[in-house]
C-alpha cells in the first residue's frame, strides 16, 4: 500500500470532485443549506478531507418536500413514454461518463475503481430497465361475476416519496429507488448517506441534464439524518418511505412511518450463509466465495457472512479460500489492479476488528489476516477464520468487512438449520451438484433470494429483497415498480 497520490492522478481527482455540485438540490436548483453549514466528506483510503457539501437543516428538508409536492400532479400526468425517455437518456449519460463517476465513487467510498465501474453500470441498468417498465404499467377490465357492472382496475403513482440510501453502494442503492419512482410518476426527496453524498449529487445533475423536470427529484445531504427526515415522515403530503440501510434504523423508521400510515419498502441488513455441500464443485465454490465475500470489500448486505462447509471438504475449502484471498492486492482503490480497498471509515474498521477479536478470543484460528493494516486509511487484512465456535458474534451479526469465518457441518438438516438460525433473511448461497438436494435446500431456506452455484445475485431484472428482519418490498424486476403504484378500483354501472 502506498500513501502517495501521483501528481497527475491528483489533478484528475480534484477535477472530478470539483465538478460535482455541492449544494442541496431543490426544485431544480442548487442552493446552500439554510444557515450555510457544510459537512466534510473524507477519502477513506487516506483519511483526508475530499470535499464539503451542504449540511441541510429540517427547513431544507421541508423545502424539498414542498418542491416534490408541487411537482407531483404534473409529473403523474406526464406521458409514460416521456418519463421513460428521461430514464433512458440518463442511462446513456451514465454509461458515457462511467470513468469519472467510477473515480468519484472510489474516492468517497474506497472500493476498487473496477468495482466502481461495475456499480455505475449496474446503477445505470436500473434506469434502462425502468425506462422500459414505464410504458407497461397496466390495469384490468373485468365483467362482474353476476353480470351488469364492470370492474375497472387502474394503477397510479403513490405520490411524493422519501428515499433514504446507505453508503455502501452510493449510486446503485439510489437508482434502484429513483428508477421505478420516476417511471411510475412519483416525485421524491432523496437523502443519501452522509459518508458518500457525492455520487448522488452527480446523479441528480445528470438527471436534470437528461430532462427531469424541476421538483421531481430533490436531494438533501445532511449530518442530521433523523432531524431532517422526521418532519417529512410526519407530513401528510408524503405518501411513501423507501429505505435501504441497517435493520436498527429501519425498525425506527417503520415506527415513524406507521404514525402517518405511509407505504413502506425496507431493504435492511443481512447475514448471508454460504453453504458448500460435499458434492459441490469445490473450485467453483471457492470462486463464488471470493465474489460473495470480497465484492465491495465485504461491505454488502449480500456479502457471504459465514461459510457452512461439509466437514469432509471444510479444510480443503478453507486452504483454497485463504490462498485466493491472500493473493489479492490491497491498496488505494484508484490504483488499477487493486482488488481490496479500505473500509469506509474508522468506525466500520473498529467494528470488524471487534468481531474478529471476539471470535479469536473464543477459540477461532486466523488462517489468514485477522488484523487492521498499518498506515493511513481504514484498511483491514483479508481474513479467513477456522474453528469458529457457535457463540462467536460474527455468526449472528453483519461483519461488513473482508472476513470469512468457516464452520463445518455434518448433515443437510444441520446445514439448513444453521443457515436459518438468524433474525435476517436476505440471501443465501448454496453450492451442490445434486438437483434434488438443490431444490430441497432452496425451498427450506428462509431468505428472499438464493444464489445457486453462483456468488452474485444482484440483477436489475430480478426482484431484490429480503424476509424476516431483512425487510420487505422488492427492488428491480417486474415487482420493483409495484412499490411506487397504488391500485384504484372503479365500479362501473352498466345497465
Which stretches of 110-224 are DSSP H helices? 113-134, 172-184, 198-209
Q: Which of 125, 267, 398, 483 is catalytic?
A: 267
Residue among 121 and 256 whose Cβ is closer to ligand NAP: 256
**Sign of the Cα pseudo-torsion (200, 202, 208, 209, in order):** negative
When asked if residue 130 is in the footprint of ligand NAP (CB under 6 A), the reply is no
DSSP 413-442: HHHHHHHH-SS--SEEEEE-S-HHHHHHHH
Helices 412-420, 435-444: inter-axial angle, 10-degree rounding: 30
| Interacting positions 458-487 with ligand NAP (CB under 6 A) | 466, 470-471
Q: Which of 93, 102, 368, 426 binds ligand NAP (CB under 6 A)?
A: 426
Nearest to 403 by CA among 310, 313, 299, 301: 299
* Annotation marks residue 414 as catalytic: no
d(CA 305, CA 422): 11
Q: Exposure string (b/e) for 430-451, b if CB count within 10 Å is 16 or more?
A: bbbeeeeebeebeeebbbbbbb
* Annotation marks residue 190 as catalytic: no
When asked if residue 268 is in the footprint of ligand NAP (CB under 6 A), the reply is yes
Smallest gap from Cβ 279 to ligand NAP, in A, equals 30
When asked if residue 399 is in the footprint of ligand NAP (CB under 6 A), the reply is no
Residue among 68 and 285 whose Cβ is closer to ligand NAP: 68
Smallest gap from Cβ 295 to ligand NAP, in A, equals 12
When asked if residue 165 is in the footprint of ligand NAP (CB under 6 A), the reply is yes
Of 181-189, 267-275, 364-372, 432-440, the window that binds ligand NAP (rule: CB under 6 A) is 267-275
Residue among 50 and 86 whose Cβ is closer to ligand NAP: 50
Smallest gap from Cβ 300 to ligand NAP, in A, equals 7
Nearest to 250 by CA among 301, 288, 296, 201: 301
CB atoms within 10 A of CB 81: 11
When asked if residue 194 is in the footprint of ligand NAP (CB under 6 A), the reply is yes
When asked if residue 284 is in the footprint of ligand NAP (CB under 6 A), the reply is no
Of 111-119, 131-139, 151-159, 166-174, the window that binds ligand NAP (rule: CB under 6 A) is 166-174
Residue 213 C-alpha from the chain's centroid: 26
Residue among 63 and 137 whose Cβ is closer to ligand NAP: 63
Query: By beta-carbon distance, which residue lies closest to ligand NAP?
Result: 245
Of 8-16, 50-58, 134-142, 263-271, the window that binds ligand NAP (rule: CB under 6 A) is 263-271
d(CA 438, CA 128): 33
When asked if residue 288 is in the footprint of ligand NAP (CB under 6 A), the reply is no
**CB contact set of 414 (below 8 Å; sequence gap of 6+):** none
Of 123-131, 242-250, 307-315, 377-385, the window that binds ligand NAP (rule: CB under 6 A) is 242-250
d(CA 487, CA 157): 9
d(CA 172, CA 387): 36
Contact yes or no for 294/322 (Cβ under 8 A): no
Q: Which three cell numbers stand for residue 440?
A: 430441497
Residue with grid cell 482488488, as numbered in its chain: 339
Smallest gap from Cβ 11 to ligand NAP, in A, equals 30
Q: Which of 115, 119, 301, 483 is catalytic?
A: 301
When asked if residue 205 is in the footprint of ligand NAP (CB under 6 A), the reply is no
d(CA 387, CA 313): 14
When asked if residue 364 is in the footprint of ligand NAP (CB under 6 A), the reply is no
H/E stretch holding 297 reads none
Smallest gap from Cβ 103 to ligand NAP, in A, equals 22
d(CA 316, CA 285): 11
Residue among 193 and 280 whose Cβ is closer to ligand NAP: 193
Smallest gap from Cβ 101 to ligand NAP, in A, equals 19
Of 14-22, 83-91, 239-247, 437-445, the window that binds ligand NAP (rule: CB under 6 A) is 239-247
Count of positions on this chain that bind ligand NAP (CB under 6 A) = 29
Q: Which three cell numbers stand for residue 68?
A: 416534490
Smallest gap from Cβ 353 to ligand NAP, in A, equals 17
d(CA 358, CA 389): 10
DSSP 445-473: --SSEEEES-S----TTS-B--SGGGEE-
Residue among 197 and 405 whose Cβ is closer to ligand NAP: 197
Q: Applying CB under 6 A, which residues contact ligand NAP?
A: 164-168, 173, 191, 193-195, 225-226, 229, 244-246, 249, 252-253, 267-270, 301, 398, 426, 466, 470-471
Positions marked catalytic: 267, 301
Amino acid at each position: 500500500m502506498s500513501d502517495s497520490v501521483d501528481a497527475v492522478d491528483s489533478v484528475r481527482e480534484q477535477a472530478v470532485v470539483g465538478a460535482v455540485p455541492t449544494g442541496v438540490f431543490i426544485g431544480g436548483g442548487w442552493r446552500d443549506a439554510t444557515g450555510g453549514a457544510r459537512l466534510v466528506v473524507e477519502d477513506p483510503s487516506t483519511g483526508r478531507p475530499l470535499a464539503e457539501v451542504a449540511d441541510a437543516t429540517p427547513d431544507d428538508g421541508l423545502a424539498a418536500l414542498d418542491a416534490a409536492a408541487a411537482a407531483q400532479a404534473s409529473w403523474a400526468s406526464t406521458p409514460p413514454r416521456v418519463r421513460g425517455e428521461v430514464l433512458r437518456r440518463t442511462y446513456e449519460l451514465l454509461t458515457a461518463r462511467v470513468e469519472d463517476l467510477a473515480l468519484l465513487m472510489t474516492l468517497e467510498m474506497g472500493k476498487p475503481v473496477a468495482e466502481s465501474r461495475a456499480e455505475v453500470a449496474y446503477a445505470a441498468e436500473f434506469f434502462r430497465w425502468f425506462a422500459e417498465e414505464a410504458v407497461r404499467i397496466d390495469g384490468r377490465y373485468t365483467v362482474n361475476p353476476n353480470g351488469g357492472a364492470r370492474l375497472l382496475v387502474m394503477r397510479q403513482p403513490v405520490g411524493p416519496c422519501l428515499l433514504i440510501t446507505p453508503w455502501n453502494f452510493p449510486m446503485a442503492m439510489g437508482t434502484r429507488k429513483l428508477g421505478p419512482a420516476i417511471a411510475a410518476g412519483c416525485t421524491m426527496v432523496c437523502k443519501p448517506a452522509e459518508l458518500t453524498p457525492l455520487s448522488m449529487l452527480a446523479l441528480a445533475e445528470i438527471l436534470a441534464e437528461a430532462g427531469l423536470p424541476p421538483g421531481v427529484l430533490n436531494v438533501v445531504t445532511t449530518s442530521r439524518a433523523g432531524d431532517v427526515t422526521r418532519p417529512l415522515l410526519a407530513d401528510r403530503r408524503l405518501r411513501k418511505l423507501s429505505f435501504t440501510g441497517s435493520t436498527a434504523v429501519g425498525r425506527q423508521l417503520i415506527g415513524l412511518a406507521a404514525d402517518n400510515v405511509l407505504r413502506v419498502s425496507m431493504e435492511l441488513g443481512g447475514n448471508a450463509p454460504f453453504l458448500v455441500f460435499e458434492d459441490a464443485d469445490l473450485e467453483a465454490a471457492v470462486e463464488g466465495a471470493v465474489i460473495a465475500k470480497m465484492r465491495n470489500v465485504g461491505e454488502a448486505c449480500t456479502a457471504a457472512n459465514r461459510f457452512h462447509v461439509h466437514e469432509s471438504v471444510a479444510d480443503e475449502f478453507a486452504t483454497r479460500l485463504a490462498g485466493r484471498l491472500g493473493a489479492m492486492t490491497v491498496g488505494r482503490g484508484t490504483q488499477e489492479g487493486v482488488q481490496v480497498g479500505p473500509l469506509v471509515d474508522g468506525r466500520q474498521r473498529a467494528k470488524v476488528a471487534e468481531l474478529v477479536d471476539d471470535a479469536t478470543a473464543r477459540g477461532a484460528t486466523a488462517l489468514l489476516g485477522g488484523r487492521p493494516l498499518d498506515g493511513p486509511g481504514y484498511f483491514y487484512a483479508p481474513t479467513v477464520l477456522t474453528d469458529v465456535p457457535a457463540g462467536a458474534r460474527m455468526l449472528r451479526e453483519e461483519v461488513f468487512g473482508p472476513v470469512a469465518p468457516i464452520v463445518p457441518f455434518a448433515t443437510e438438516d444441520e446445514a439448513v438449520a444453521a443457515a436459518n438460525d438468524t433474525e435476517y433473511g436476505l440471501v443465501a448461497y448454496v453450492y451442490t451438484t445434486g438437483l434434488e438436494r438443490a431444490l430441497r435446500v432452496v425451498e427450506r431456506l428462509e431468505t428472499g433470494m438464493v444464489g445457486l452455484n453462483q456468488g452474485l445475485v444482484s440483477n436489475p431484472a430480478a426482484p431484490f429483497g429480503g424476509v424476516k428482519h431483512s425487510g420487505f418490498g422488492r427492488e428491480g424486476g417486474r415487482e420493483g415498480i409495484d412499490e411506487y403504484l397504488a391500485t384504484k378500483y372503479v365500479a362501473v354501472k352498466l345497465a
